[in-house]
Amino acid sequence: MTAPLDGLLVADFSRVLAGPLATMTLADLGATVVKVERPGSGDDTRSWGPPWTAGSSAYFDGLNRSKYSLTLDLAADADLEAARELAARADVLVHNLRPAGMRGFGLDYETVAEINPAVVYCTVTGFGPDTDLPGYDFLVQAVGGLMSITGDPQGDPTKAGVALVDVLTAKDATIGILAALHKRERTGHGDHVQVNLLSSLLGSLVNQASGYLATGAPPGRMGNRHPSIAPYETLRCADRPIAVACGNDRQFGRLCAELGIAPVAGDPRFADNPSRVAHRDELVAALEQALAADTAANWEVRLTAAGVPAGLVGDIGDAIRRAGSYGLEPLVPLPGGGAQIRHPITWTRASVAQPADPPALGAHNGALRAWLSDTSGSPLPNVPREPAAGPAPDNG
Catalytic residue list: 166
Q: Can you tell me the distance from the alpha carbon of 137 to that of 156, in angstroms, rounded to the nearest whole number?
A: 18
The CA–CA distances, whole Å, from 65 to 62, 100, 187, 249, 333 equal: 7, 29, 32, 45, 11
Q: Give the residue among 232, 160, 229, 233 at the shortest CA–CA distance from 201.
A: 160
Q: Can you tell me the distance from the alpha carbon of 102 to that of 272, in angstroms, rounded to the nearest whole number?
A: 56
Whether the CA torsion 296, 297, 303, 307 is positive or negative: it is positive
Q: Where are the strands (E) in 61-197, listed by range?
A: 67-71, 92-95, 120-125, 191-196
Q: Where are the strands (E) in the chain, listed by range?
A: 9-13, 32-37, 67-71, 92-95, 120-125, 191-196, 232-236, 241-245, 310-312, 331-333, 339-341
Residues across the chain: 396
Sheet containing 310-312: order of strands: 232-236, 241-245, 310-312
According to DSSP, residue 52 is labeled: B
Whether the CA torsion 224, 226, 232, 235 is positive or negative: it is positive
Three-state DSSP class for 51?
A: coil
| Residues 6 or more apart whose Cβ sits within 8 Å of residue 228 | 207, 211, 273, 277
According to DSSP, residue 391 is labeled: -
Q: Can you tell me the distance from the alpha carbon of 176 to that of 22, in angstroms, rounded to the nearest whole number?
A: 10
Q: Can you tell me the distance from the alpha carbon of 151 to that of 223, in angstroms, rounded to the nearest whole number?
A: 5
